A and B are shown apart, each in its own frame.
Chain A
Amino acid sequence: GESVGLHLPTLSVQEGDNSIINCAYSNSASDYFIWYKQESGKGPQFIIDIRSNMDKRQGQRVTVLLNKTVKHLSLQIAATQPGDSAVYFCAENMNRDDKIIFGKGTRLHILP
């Protein structure tokens, strides 16, 4: 697979359990946040996004929570499956800028 980081924080979760991946973002002026999933050998793939005027957004099996007070973002995955094993990145965008800034990533490992 691709080298996405041997030194990434790793979260191990039993299959079927819920998982929570956390991210601290850096810029208080950021107003748009995105979670990406990167499987081995592939490019990052969009999962879900949230704007700063919201504190929660739900998708299919995923929920993103935003706490602007402490500049914290989390991704909750319900009933984890083997296919959820990947590296998850949070990314932030400021004032509808053209670009986004990626965090370092968290590796999610699903235990059988």
Chain B
Amino acid sequence: DAGVIQSPRHEVTEMGQEVTLRCKPISGHDYLFWYRQTMMRGLELLIYFNNNVPIDDSGMPEDRFSAKMPNASFSTLKIQPSEPRDSAVYFCASSLGTSGTDTQYFGPGTRLTVL
């Protein structure tokens, strides 16, 4: 298996623009997680899905952030409009089952820079 796939790997955009990050989880995994990593806050969980359904989005910072999972093999995280403070590395992870029993596998991340 290729592991969790994320695209793009790097994104540079200007403030106010829409940004869409993409993730393909490991085939057969029922859980998908979106994280954000910054120097100040470390690794934060933004939202996670179980069987394509959003379960907990309490980590999503603002209404500017939204995430979808239209099918088992694809998810997007959208920021609209983007702001400089959104600059971070965004990771997608997937797991076979709940995190209490199964390992989360992380993608390589998308490094977002908002100018």
Contacts and interface: CB of A to CB of B under 8 A. Distances in A.
Interface in A65-106: 89, 93, 95-105
Contacts of B56: 98-99
A102 B55 contact: no
22 contacts: A2-B109, A3-B38, A3-B88, A5-B39, A5-B42, A6-B39, A31-B100, A41-B108, A42-B108, A42-B109, A43-B91, A43-B93, A43-B106, A44-B43, A44-B91, A44-B106, A89-B43, A93-B99, A93-B100, A95-B100, A97-B99, A98-B50
Interface of B: 4, 31, 33, 37-39, 42-43, 45, 48, 50, 55-56, 88-89, 91, 93, 98-101, 103-109, 111
B104 A100 contact: yes
- In terms of DSSP, what is the predominant structure of the interface of chain A? loop
Contacts, number: 69
Contact of A96 (B50, B88, B101, B111): B101
A28 to B, nearest CB: 16
A7 interface: yes
Interface of A: 2-7, 31-32, 34, 41-46, 49, 89, 93, 95-105
A32 B107 CA distance: 22
A98 B55 contact: yes
B106 A98 contact: no
